[in-house]
Structure 1
């Protein structure tokens, strides 16, 4: 079957002639065309005689104008396509004659002259205004302007529309009187105002939903924060109770030891054999065993408690001393090979103000492993005596002493 159209291989558009293919190529830069046996549709609107070249174009026309009836004249207009390139010297009139040389005579459709003049006064060309009025069904100035805006990129927007001479065209609708025009403008403004109000209400609803969502997220975050705070307080109270229990046990043990010592000095026998054994024997055995982190931790806790008791009138200074000690042991724990972190000058003014002048500060460092050297001028922790477990234990005790508000009360 002979080809009846040219098909663009880039976008699939069907074109009636080589001229249309050239115009399509200039507008889109597409260059892949091939001869096709698929004809270009010629759907003629029965209401306004607008020809539609595809089903999509007829659907758009129906959507814009409401016209739904079309006459399929594809078979009448389909002819084998000529692949000859038109001559360069051909005039526009010759091209029109070649493309419209059919049995039917093509004429310019009748449109509302008054609306046409109004469109021309707005700056639109006669061809563009005539095309807009014709394809909008002479629906009025607003419909024509809308059609022009929607089709301003059409390649034939400035070509005068042509329809078969024997096509029945609906009589153009009379143009609006000034009063009707003002009423129409007022209606359009009212419609635009209502649309704007609806859009603002919709936007406000979206904003309100967003505010509610953010509020819920903030409430949930606050609830989680409060739960975490309650857990922290419960853990702190538990630690305080444990601290009090250990303090009471230690006081009780000290009282039992004092009582046993008094009975011994008076030459009295112990009240119970089970009570007489533990204190001295256990302490004596501990002195021969290697120092374990647990024992060191107890010594550190007692040292820190003593430091706080000795300077309880200046809580800020005690807290600063605890923080300074935590910095010293933390630096050594993180950098055990750095000698500068393992050596402290006792005469350093900052050290003296923060730690050295407080009773118990230097003792705490000595429990951690620091030793006095050079006649007591420096505190030094030898590399081979660095015990990470002891340093971690000291850090935990210092952290507890800083954060626990009841530390050292008993």
Structure 2
């Protein structure tokens, strides 16, 4: 086992409470160390604090796996944690859910490890190459033992945009059929964003759909039609899906058709959602429900001011597009943007557009995306549902 220099300040309380990250600046400077090594972290007096995965190239220098110096990082540990994660999903999700997050990284005590299930296929993703090196083989073995017979594919952090690696089983088909409630999705687990779907919005898709019966709906950053398809299936009068990626819109069309919803009765617009929202506002267009669910605008703390400016522009235009008494659904998936900052930006942007937001609901990710209380960074998704007047 590799040894790591001592911490320059006492973080033992935060780590003991469950915070799984130790940042680079917390350590006394020394050589970079080996990426993916399992290291022991000591306090200034040399006492053991934690054991975890070393990532010399990341601001998150160590991802903590245990605070028990007697606990080895081995197959038995990973088996226990995977089994616990699976048991939680069986407890909190409806039976028969076939598109879900099985392992949610830090919240399941496997920091940096994500595993999503799409029917008979498991998709593994790692937040860093160091995590894959340290835990990849152990995680695959644990999944094989817990869920024998399922296909496993792996999407590596350094290979974004490339075909994932087939780890176990036969190659996946072009699309895999899964369900969110009664709505069917045809998922491309090889080339789709994230692992194929934005599973963290599953419950919000269904909740918002109930507000869309008979409504005109604008779904900005629609991807493969998550909010828009649920709205159409729930009886929305007309849905406009907007996304910059033409392949995503083609997939959305296929998903509409797979649910016996005629895509020709709805609109699919290949455009930049930020610009199109501004254009629609200048044209005086309105909708009963507007959804704005953009990708992360703040990949780092340094990017937050710029991100809040972008959210302000987007949400001001989105609020202006909502008809009197209609619904705005606005989401932020950046952990660096706090809920307070997001809501404050939304309120200010709406006011500048001459609109008032009345909160109906504040939502987050579904129960298969749990959060450790002492790790607020894990509560990344914020979904505002508001009446606009």
Same fold (TM over 0.5): no
TM range (shorter): under 0.3
Q: Give the alignment's TM-score, normalised by structure 1.
A: 0.18
Structure exhibiting the larger radius of gyration computed from Cα positions: 1
Q: Give the alignment's TM-score, normalised by structure 2.
A: 0.18
Normalized per residue, the structure richer in helix is 1
Normalized per residue, the structure richer in strand is 2
Q: Which has the higher contact order (CA 8 A, sep 6+)?
A: 2
